[in-house]
Amino acid sequence: MSFPVSHNPQVLLRPSRKTTLLPLKCSEKTYLLNKKEETQKWNGLKIFRGKKLLKDLSTWGIGGPCNYFVEAFDQTQLLAAIRYCHEHSIRYIIIGRGSNCLFDDMGFKGCVILNRINFLERKEPAIYRAGSGFPFNSLGMQCSNEGFTGLEFAGGIPGTVGGATYMNAGANGLETADAIDSVDIVTVEGELQTLDRNDLKFGYRSSSFQDMEDLAAIVAVTFRLKELGSATRKQQEYLERRRMTQPLRDRTAGSVFRNPSDIGVAAAELIEKAGLKGFRLGGAMVSKIHANFFINVSSSTSRDMLNLIDLVKDKIDQKFGVRLKEEVVYYQPYCNHLNPSGDKVTCDETFNANEMK
């Protein structure tokens, strides 16, 4: 059974330096180069085959075609998409707005499920339930405008509610976990579960979900907030600070590295002290505004971005003795699942003809 990679996990999957992906066979090349987009319907789903470019689903604007692509607009469609992949032995990943993601130029040899579960309901005066595909920044702005505090920091964070929950996104000393009341999930076996906040553990850019081997996807999240008349003003202050300190108009994926936990210095400060602000490799460049943001400045390839990440890690290690850990996620073309520790990658390098149907 394939294991999904869902909701923008916190770490970057890196291919081992000894890993070599199998070259595409002639039949595979023909398939990927075929300009006719194939579409099929299955249990109410519209499944596109072969020509959806992942660069169009990523804020970095990088990535080749995936074998299958489907949009899930509700819980039923999401379950159907997962069931389709299981029944046809297709590996799959579930993504939201494509921030925090680096797709390979070869694409993904499996199915990409785009989470469009974007409802929002106010259950009680200070309790909101949002679909996992709902834009996290929109949630933060709406709650703040209605006079509730707890998610002001979300106003400038790209990504979805599901992604923010999975990686416990945060800013300005606040984290997503602080406002969570419960989380609805679906398992790889299709079982729906509701987990209370007390059942979950969160840390810096980490959550219990990253260790759940049977997790298929987060479906919805309920947030419990508090009333605060100045919530809108706080949210605007956070957003203005973001505009002044981050390259919001450029093609980025958010912070590339997690801040080191034991030295009291942010990753951006280390990169800047190493003299790497504005450093460029191919089409990828370290931002001149915020050194922990890497920009696709000129048709960057995935290899450009991976090489830049490697270079920065090596320089910081050599200069300061600190080994930075990635926050963005790299999806290898043949990768089945990730190890949340970020220490290794588990990939299936064998080619399965059934996955090119």
137 shares a domain with 109:
no
Give the end of a domain, one of 172, 196, 229: 229
What value does the mean pLDDT take over residues 61-77? 95
- Whether residues 153 and 223 share a domain: the answer is yes
In a domain, 28, yes or no: yes
Region for residue 178 given its phi and psi (left: phi exceeds 0; alpha: psi -120 to 50; beta: otherwise): alpha
pTM of the model: 0.81
Question: Could you tell me how many residues make up the chain?
Answer: 357
Q: What is the pLDDT of residue 66?
A: 96
> Interhelix angle for 136-145 vs 231-245, to 10°?
140
The DSSP secondary-structure symbol of 275 reads: T
CATH (domain of 162): 3.30.465.10
* pLDDT mean across residues, the chain: 83
Q: Assess whether pLDDT exceeds 70 at residue 339.
A: no
**Same domain, yes or no: 61 and 141:** no
Greatest CA span in the chain, whole angstroms? 63
State whether 107 and 43 are in the same domain.
yes
Q: How confident is the model at residue 336 (pLDDT cuts 50, 70, 90)?
A: low
Shared-domain flag, residues 131 and 152: yes
User: For the segment 118-173, what is each residue's pLDDT rounded down to a tens digit?
Assistant: 999 998 889 999 999 999 999 999 999 999 999 999 987 888 999 999 999 988 78
If asked whether residues 210 and 129 sit together in one domain, one would say: yes
**How would you list the strands of the sheet with 120-124, edge to edge?**
120-124, 127-131, 215-224, 180-187, 192-196
Q: For position 180, what pLDDT does the model report?
A: 97
Domain contains 3: no
Q: State both tokens at 183.
A: 């989380």
Would 235 be classed as within a structural domain?
no
Residue 242 lies in a domain: no
CB distance 277 to 285 below 8 Å: no
Same domain, 124 and 225: yes
Shared-domain flag, residues 25 and 108: yes
Q: Which domain holds residue 320?
A: 250-329
> Is residue 57 domain-shared with residue 112, that is, in the same domain?
yes
User: What is the reported pLDDT for 239?
Assistant: 82
In a shared domain, residues 128 and 84: no
What is the structure's pLDDT at 225? 95
Cβ neighbours for 16, distance < 8 A, ≥ 6 positions apart: 344, 345
Q: Let me know if residue 77 belongs to a domain.
A: yes
- CA-only gyration radius of the chain, Å: 20
Query: What is the distance between the alpha carbons of residues 298 and 337, in angstroms, rounded to a whole number?
Result: 30
What is the pLDDT at residue 341?
Answer: 32
* Residues 138 and 70 placed together within one structural domain of the fold: no
220 and 280 share one domain: no
Residues in contact with 33: Cβ distance below 8 Å, sequence separation at least 6, in sequence order: none
Q: Are 93 and 87 in contact (CB under 8 A)?
A: no
Residue type, 15: P
Q: Report how far residue 285's alpha carbon sits from residue 224's, in angstroms, rounded to the nearest whole number.
A: 40
Q: How many domains does the chain have?
A: 3
Least confident of 35-44, 60-69, 104-113, 232-241: 35-44
- pLDDT band of residue 37 (cuts 50, 70, 90) is low
CATH number, domain at 297? Answer: 3.90.78.10
Q: What percentage of residues in the chain have a pLDDT greater than 70?
A: 83
